[in-house]
Amino acid sequence: MTPPSAQTLGLCLCHRCRLACSLATHPHHCPRCGDALHFRKPRAVSRTWALMLAALVLYAPANLLPIMHTQALQKDTSVTILSGVVELWQTGAWDIAVIIFVASIGVPVTKFLVLTLLLITVQRGNRRSRRERTLLYRALELIGYWSMLDVFVAALLSALVQFGLFGAIEPRIGILFFGLVVVLTMLATQSFDPRLIWDSPDHHDR
């Protein structure tokens, strides 16, 4: 026997303060924070697509443009994320190189792939592996709490390769693009409504 849904029981979760509200007594606004009540996040699918695609567009310059410029006694060098990883690997700091690669390349690519999978399966009304897809989304939320560390790890550790006794380090435009990618992927994750995974196709926004 399938348990009744919250909508069947006349309950709605506030998206801001997470309070379970009874629509019989408060049909429009949350009694605790006053936010408007919706059974599902408004335009969740379209908004998530827009934020994720914007992050994907910015991801290319984030990796191609330099993130740091190092001025030392002997030479001046600009490094990108990938060149910093290669330099660290070649100098024997493979552990730091792996950290930077995972934080700056692996995590964003994983976010793009998982969000794309969730969005496509929701729009197609796929009923398979709902529990597994929900767990994937929860994993994205967990990663999101640490996403801003990607920026600092990539910026600081990549510069260590070229940093000498006397020198100066200046950030470059690439780190701005990378920071925007991190922010947009976090917003895309928060915009998606995982309850859509369990809905029938007619509930999804087109």
What's the confidence (pLDDT) of residue 206?
A: 40
Q: What is the CATH number of domain 41-203?
A: 1.20.140
* Under-70 pLDDT residues of the chain: 1-5, 71-75, 145-169, 200-206
What's the confidence (pLDDT) of residue 9?
A: 74
Q: Where in the chain are the domains? A: 1-39, 41-203
Q: With the C-alpha atoms ordered 37, 38, 39, 40, is the resulting torsion angle positive or negative?
A: negative
Q: With the C-alpha atoms ordered 33, 36, 40, 45, is the resulting torsion angle positive or negative?
A: negative
DSSP SS3 for 143: helix
Q: In 3D, which of 160, 182, 32, 171 has the Cα closest to residue 103?
A: 182
Record the tokens describing residue 71, joined without a space. Answer: 């001025």
**Looking up tokens 């992050």, which residue turns up?**
55
Indicate the pTM of the whole model. 0.78
- Cβ atoms of 33 and 16 within 8 Å: the answer is yes
Radius of gyration of the chain (CA): 22
What's the confidence (pLDDT) of residue 204?
A: 47
